[in-house]
Amino acid sequence: MSERTLKIVSFNINGIKARLPRLLEYLTEQQPDIAVLQEIKTMDEGFPAAEFEAIGYHALWHGQKSFNGVAILTRGEPAVETQRGLPMLDGPLPIDNEPDEQSRYLEADAFGVRIGCLYLPNGNPQPGPKFDYKLGWMRRLRAHGQMLLAREEPTILLGDYNVIPHDRDTYSVGAMADDALTQPESRAAYRRMLADGWTDALGVTYPAGGVWTYWDYQAGAWPRDHGFRIDHILCSPQAADRLDGCGVDKEYRGREKASDHAPTFALLRA
């Protein structure tokens, strides 16, 4: 009998109500064990949990009216929530030491793995307060990530990081030169997380780059394949040891009324 493999997916759905048919289609066809969602863009009471239950998925969600919002779906067995929102820490910005009012982080245990679902702030326009907020949020994420690493258990932090780690992760360096996603400060904050011990699953699997997870709705980006990589799967050493592949279910970006992101997945030996 072959060893079981968990399929763990990150999917920025860009509005769960608008994309619900596409999401249910994806879950039914691919049957991932865990799917984490970003930009659900709905308040808690509007989350369509019953729709997921009907196809065998349990749900945890952290909603916000019209913006942001994250969720964790698990197939067959419920996840156990462990953290809602990032913990506070001492630091130079208000974001460091005040409760975050934006719904951007949800964490749970499922199938023997700690799963952190995140939607990192975009940070545009930069420079400015939105970029400062992004960097402050990344400091909080790194501090929480260090606590998770100290547990020495299989852990995955995945979601829309809104960071293009390298020039090879965008179709055009010039087009993205002034964007918050490529700024040296954003990239340095991401590298610091990797230096702590996290493994960028897609980054190590496709070191030459050219793997996109996002294509803008504007300027014919999808048919021209003008994309970039901002959806990342960071694995703790214990999870990285069980990594059995990863990739992007790219074809779902081309379907009618699709999200501007494609599902990004890792396979983990159970």
- The angle subtended at Cα 204 by Cα 200 and Cα 210, nearest 5°, is 100
Residue for token digits 């460091």? 96
Of 87-96, 149-158, 202-211, which gets the smallest average pLDDT?
87-96
Least confident of 48-52, 90-94, 198-202, 215-219: 90-94
pLDDT number for residue 1: 35
- Strand-pair category, 113-119 with 70-75: unpaired
Cα–Cα distances in angstroms (integers) from residue 90 to residues 13, 136, 194, in the given order: 33, 11, 22
Instruction: Report helix, strand or coil for 70.
Output: strand
Q: How confident is the model at residue 97 (pLDDT cuts 50, 70, 90)?
A: confident
Identify which of 128, 109, 118 has the alpha carbon closest to the alpha carbon of residue 86: 118
Residue 75's pLDDT band (cuts 50, 70, 90): very high
Lowest mean pLDDT of 86-100, 175-189, 256-270, name the range. Answer: 86-100
pLDDT beyond 90 at 94: no
Active site residue 105: no
Active-site residue (options: 26, 57, 105, 119): 119
Instruction: Say whether the peptide bond before residue 127 is cis (omega within 30 degrees of 0).
Output: yes
Distance of CA 225 to the CA centre of its chain: 21
Query: CA 266, CA 1: separation in Å to the nearest integer?
Result: 21
DSSP code of residue 241: T
User: Tens digits of per-residue pLDDT, 151-166?
Assistant: 999 999 999 999 999 9
Contact at 8 Å (CB) between 159 and 117? yes
Q: Whose CA is closest to 30, among 1, 62, 55?
A: 55
- The pLDDT, as a whole number, for residue 90 is 83
> What pLDDT does residue 157 have?
99
Q: Is there a catalytic annotation at residue 260?
A: no
C-alpha closest to that of 251 among 56, 22, 7, 52: 22
Please report which confidence band the pLDDT of residue 100 belongs to, taking 50, 70 and 90 as the band edges: confident
Out of 33, 100, 132, 160, pick the active-site residue: 160
This prediction's pTM: 0.97
Range 75-109 burial, b when 16+ CB lie within 10 A, else e:
beeebeeeeebbeeeeeeeebeeeebebbbbbbbb
Q: Which of 242, 235, 173, 158 is nearest to 209 (CA)?
A: 173
Q: What is the mean pLDDT of residues 198-226?
A: 97
